[in-house]
Amino acid sequence: MAGKTPSGEKPIAANKKALHDYFILEKIEAGISLLGTEVKAIREGRLNLKDSYALVRSGEVFLLHCHISPYSHGNRENHDPLRSRKLLLHVNEIRRLIGKTQEKGLTLVPLRVYLKRGKIKVELGVARGKKLYDKRETERRKEADREAKAAVKYRR
């Protein structure tokens, strides 16, 4: 992903699978605690959010199964690609997330990672899983919108 958005954010990675598999109820921005080689690898775009999720443990939020490939110019002190990483949130935000995730069927899913004023940020979504018929309905709706746009474009 290249270029900056109008809000001054530079996108690094997006989790498109999360938008397909979940209904996103709420979005939260969080900082992320990283090692030096992880920051350099993320700036190279070597990040995969595909099967990652966030978990609240003992009053802290952690990002799990987020794959950050080793830095290309790193040495033997390179980071572990799948280590759990602490997310930086305010205490009241963490309390609210604890309440939300204890509800039946809600989970925390990273939606995208981006640079904002030189800092790497993660956008978390409080999400509810979609059933198979919900996924089909979403796909039908997208297809109908696509066809409608094509028809309007053709008429012009």
Look over the chain and give the mean of its residue pLDDT values, rounded to a whole number: 83
Length of the chain: 156
Taking 60 as the threshold, does the pLDDT of residue 1 lie above it? no
Half-sphere exposure of 75 (CA within 13 A, CB side): 1
Contact 64, 54 (CB under 8 A): yes
Quote the pLDDT of residue 66: 84
> For residue 101, what pLDDT band results from cuts at 50, 70 and 90?
confident
**Does 151 or 8 have the greater pLDDT score?**
151
Domain regions of the chain by residue span: 9-130
What type of residue is 118? G
Rounded Cα distance between 86 and 144, Å, is 41
The mean per-residue pLDDT over the stretch 48-68 comes to 86
Rounded Cα distance between 126 and 54, Å, is 10
> For residue 6, what pLDDT band results from cuts at 50, 70 and 90?
low
The architecture in CATH of the region 9-130 reads Beta Barrel (2.40)
Q: Convert the pLDDT of each residue in 85-97 to its tens digit.
A: 888 889 988 888 8
Q: Convert the pLDDT of each residue in 68-82 to its tens digit.
A: 888 777 666 777 677
